[in-house]
Amino acid sequence: MENIFLQISIVLGVTVSIAFVMRMLRQPLIVGYIVAGLIAGPLFLDVIHGGDDLFEAFAQFGIVLLLFVVGLSLNFQYIRRVGKAVLICGLTQFFITVLVGLGLMHLMNFSFISSLFVAIAISFSSTIVVIKLLSEKEDLESMYGKFVIGLLIVQDLIAIIVMIFLNTAYIGSSVWYETLVIIFGKGLLLSWVVFLLAKFVLPLLVEKVAKSSEFLFVFTIAWCFGVASLVYWSGFSIEIGAIIAGVSLGASQYQQLISSRIRPLRDFFIVLFFIVLGSELQLADITIALKPALILSIFILVVDPFILYFVMRKLRYTRRNSFLAGITAAQISEFGFILTFKGQEVGLLYGSELAILAITALVTITISSYLIEYNEQIYQSISPFIKKFGKKEKEDKEEKKKIYDVWVFGYHRIGWKICEALKEKGVSFAVVDFNPDIIDRLKHRGINCYFGDAADVEFLEGLSLEKSKMVISTIPEPDDQLTLVKHIRKMTKKTLIIANLYHNTFLDDLYEAGTDYVMMPHLLGGRWISDILKNYAWTSQTLKDLKKEQRREMKLRFTVGTYEQ
């Protein structure tokens, strides 16, 4: 036991040292974990030798917790919100990448099974890396950011289906069809049991348990491993059980709290998972895997983004959003390693597939982190080349730009009230928003609207902003508004521009760019309450009247935002 404790201490010490280097290089820590495993493994320090079983058990815990969080975070409503285009794009990108990857591996003389596993593994992008980097750039709510998150959810669903197929398709028995029927029957029965528990029993338990955050944490771990074990006992893999456990808790109102509580534990075991992955790399495997890994890395970093780019362009997305989404997804996922481990477990893989994926992960994650960090600069540099291929959306349609008196960017919180005022005045106006739900609602009400991104100059060029009397932006992102203001001011000085800020950091920047007025909701709120204090009696009746008016406003907001009155 002391030996194992010493091994873990040394491994964690190496990992922390490598992690410091990764942070200085602005790299995702996953890269550091794999490198730490490589150093701690038999190639260098050989620290893990002697505690393989324990480390592999820790790695298995990491896989279970990772897939549990994936199931917990699966949001089918999100796919519906971002539109069927994400589903079409995700499926198209998956099949094209698998076919090309299969061809590349075949040309390098790998067996069909090895080629298929690697091709499937490289078709998934890393959820952990992408979400972390987009969050640091504050691009999660951008149009391309939302699209990529939807794409990752689609990829997660595909990976789950592949895992289920892998679990049921590889049956060595001569009466495989009978075994398959039995497993299918068990699966239906198990799904029904878990559904009933999640529908009727789990909400009552969670409501009682959630009164104590510590008890909720323990209950969540017990539920995760309990359901995973039940699924494993039924003839399926533990990994599928972990996903089912997460999905069953995903509909809970405490989903966010559960997810935040479980992530630190998941992250610890995921560190050990990637360390074990790095430690399993042998010199012979690395020698064999280096050339295929570099070829696959070039494909993932260069060709795969353009596959996604052209698919998105066919779905009428602009060049900018298509390009940014493409390079954001240019790395391989942790799911690829899980599938490869599963392939080894069922006896389908014996070669250097794991080494190929590990080297490919190191290369693609390292380079793609810089691509995501400097995506706008890269797009500006490459856009003249991209524009030579194909015409712009508006040129394809050959439509004349429609002219409106007012353009409103952003409808959600402030914009809807502005639109109601413009409608009352009889002013012609149009709304720009990148939420498909809002666009559908506006179309239902007969309001002119455009699905687009204020930060996308190519999209802005298709609008008649320079011919309008006023442009009002209610979007919260200052950088996007600076892009919008500068674009308008390049074309005209006459159009009045009203922007919106929640803090004064970028106030001078917006005014210098040419904004005529910047709304600041907290100042406007302070002015409103000061007028109330000056002009109304300080009585409970005054506050009751204001509360009634507020409720009428909120009722109007949700009514006009959804249906025509």
Alpha carbons 228 and 286: distance in angstroms, whole number: 34
pTM, rounded to two decimals = 0.73
β-partners of residue 470 are: 406, 496
Count the alpha carbons within 13 Å of 551 in the hemisphere toward its beta carbon.
6
CB atoms within 10 A of CB 413: 13
Alpha helices in 170-254 (DSSP H): 176-196, 202-209, 213-233, 238-250
Predicted confidence at residue 436, as pLDDT, reads 74
Reference 142, options 154, 125, 158, 130; nearest CA is: 130
Alpha carbons 480 and 123: distance in angstroms, whole number: 31
Strands 517-519, 449-451: parallel, antiparallel or unpaired by DSSP? unpaired
Predicted confidence at residue 517, as pLDDT, reads 94
The label of the residue with tokens 């896989």 reads 63
Question: Residue length, the chain?
Answer: 565
Distances (CA, A) of 465 to 127, 461, 480, 490: 37, 8, 15, 11
Predicted confidence at residue 215, as pLDDT, reads 87
Start and end residues for every CATH 1.20.1530.20 domain found in the chain: 2-386
| 274, burial (CB in 10 Å: exposed 0-12, middle 13-18, buried 19+) | buried
What tokens does 75 get? 């949001």
Alpha carbons 473 and 475: distance in angstroms, whole number: 6
Strands 470-473, 406-409: parallel, antiparallel or unpaired by DSSP? parallel
Alpha carbon 251 to chain centroid, angstroms: 19
**∠ CA(233), CA(236), CA(238), 5° rounding?**
80
Predicted confidence at residue 15, as pLDDT, reads 87
What tokens does 193 get? 């049991």
Distances (CA, A) of 7 to 60, 107, 278: 18, 42, 15
- Asked if residues 130 and 153 have their Cβ atoms less than 8 Å apart, the reply is no
- Asked if residues 233 and 187 have their Cβ atoms less than 8 Å apart, the reply is no
What tokens does 278 get? 């790095």
First-to-last C-alpha distance (Å) of the chain: 72
The label of the residue with tokens 């794999």 reads 34
Predicted confidence at residue 564, as pLDDT, reads 37
Distances (CA, A) of 277 to 163, 190, 221, 338, 471: 19, 32, 24, 10, 54
Reference 331, options 551, 560, 89, 27; nearest CA is: 27
Start and end residues for every CATH 3.40.50.720 domain found in the chain: 401-560
Q: What are the two backbone dihedrals, phi and then psi, of residue 157, each rounded to the nearest 5 degrees?
A: -65, -40
What tokens does 311 get? 């698919």
| 243, burial (CB in 10 Å: exposed 0-12, middle 13-18, buried 19+) | buried
β-partners of residue 102 are: none
Q: What are the two backbone dihedrals, phi and then psi, of residue 505, each rounded to the nearest 5 degrees?
A: -60, -40
* Structural class in CATH, domain 401-560: alpha beta
Predicted confidence at residue 516, as pLDDT, reads 94
- Asked if residues 120 and 99 have their Cβ atoms less than 8 Å apart, the reply is no
The tens digit of pLDDT for each residue in 377-418 reads 898 888 888 776 655 544 434 346 789 999 999 987 788 889
Residues with Cβ within 8 Å of residue 75, at least 6 apart in sequence:
153, 250
The tens digit of pLDDT for each residue in 436-472 reads 778 888 888 889 999 888 888 878 888 999 999 999 9
Architecture label for domain 2-386: Up-down Bundle (1.20)
Alpha carbons 449 and 561: distance in angstroms, whole number: 13
Instruction: Enumerate residue ranges in the chain where pLDDT < 70.
Output: 1-2, 49-52, 75-83, 167-184, 186-187, 251, 283-284, 388-400, 554-565
- Asked if residues 156 and 70 have their Cβ atoms less than 8 Å apart, the reply is yes
